[in-house]
Amino acid sequence: MKDVILEEIVHAMAARPHAAWLWREPLAASASVDDPLVGSLKEWVHPGHLMPWELLPGARGIVAFFIPFSEQVSMGNAQGRFQSASWARAYRETNALIDEVGERLCGMLRSRGHEAVFVPATHDFDEETLTSRWSHRHVAFTAGLGTLGLNGMLITERGCCGRLGSIVTSARMKPDTRHRVEFCLFKRSGSCGMCVDRCPTGALTGTGLDKKECYANLLANAPLYPDIGWADACGKCVSGLPCSCRIP
């Protein structure tokens, strides 16, 4: 199933404009809903987080995938107060790609007699608490796609600079093994923290993230490129870092 996911993503990527400079090779991983960490999502993420079986009664498996941005996109967004035009375009294009791939994969699973659901890549959160009802990055962590960095983002084998998607299905999935080694240099040895320095508003610190301050900054970035469209993104805390495009 994981190979099919990657084939679907690569096919969809190749068909989209700007593919050559926006993205690198994607990754995918899977988990069983019987995994104790999956079963405790409400405890270790937040109480309002949905469980797989709340999204899909009879859920048995989860598949998470990561579409990494190119080094060109990452480095182009590393400097300055606001997001670069290439970052805004990558954000918009990748969200659309993730939604497209998620729906196609669900359709493929249904054609094989399974049930499947997909949560959109973005804008699926409570605007009061700024918490997602389904966190793709935490779900991807349970599937073994990477480890969570100081910036709260998932660091995969191809870094943290990119976007995540996930689906829930009634099909049983062969679980991938979670990484035993911490990828984040700060968490591993206290030797980094560049993501904190990159944050343009001070919302990200060594002890956590001020979500309201961060969200206000996203909204300030959103209308900057009318020709691209509404892009409520920033990406400074994942750009131009040792972990942006690889395991440091």
Residues 59, 50: contact at Cβ < 8 Å? no
How do residues 60-72 score in pLDDT, each as one tens digit? 999 999 999 999 9
Classify residue 198: in a domain, yes or no: no
Q: What is the pLDDT of residue 3?
A: 86
Cα 214 from chain centre = 17
Rg (CA), the chain: 17
Classify residue 229: in a domain, yes or no: no
Classify residue 192: in a domain, yes or no: no
> What is the residue range of 105's domain?
2-179
pLDDT score of 51 more than 90: yes
Enclosing H/E stretch for 28: strand 27-32
Classify residue 244: in a domain, yes or no: no
Cα 136 from chain centre = 6
Q: What is the pLDDT of residue 18?
A: 83
Say which DSSP state 53 is in.
H
Classify residue 27: in a domain, yes or no: yes
How do residues 216-226 score in pLDDT, each as one tens digit? 999 999 999 99
pLDDT score of 246 more than 90: yes
Q: What is the pLDDT of residue 1?
A: 80
Classify residue 245: in a domain, yes or no: no
- Write the single-letter amino acid at 148: L
Q: What is the pLDDT of residue 21?
A: 93
How do residues 159-177 score in pLDDT, each as one tens digit? 999 999 999 999 999 999 9
How do residues 198-210 score in pLDDT, each as one tens digit? 999 999 999 999 9
Tell how strand 162-169 and strand 204-205 pair up: unpaired
E-assigned strand segments in 14-153: 27-32, 61-68, 116-118, 125-126, 131-132, 147-148
Classify residue 209: in a domain, yes or no: no
Sign of CA dihedral 84, 85, 88, 91: negative
Q: What is the pLDDT of residue 128?
A: 79
* CATH code, domain with 76: 3.40.109
Classify residue 199: in a domain, yes or no: no
Q: What is the number of structural domains in the chain?
A: 1
pLDDT score of 125 more than 80: no
Say which DSSP state 40 is in.
T
How do residues 34-49 score in pLDDT, each as one tens digit? 999 999 999 999 999 9
Mean pLDDT of the chain: 95
Rounded distance between C-alpha atoms, residue 53 and residue 242, angstroms: 37
Q: Which residues pair with 146 in a beta bridge?
A: none
Taking alpha carbons only, the member of 40, 112, 78 closest to residue 239 is 78
Rounded distance between C-alpha atoms, residue 205 and residue 201, angstroms: 10
Cα 106 from chain centre = 18
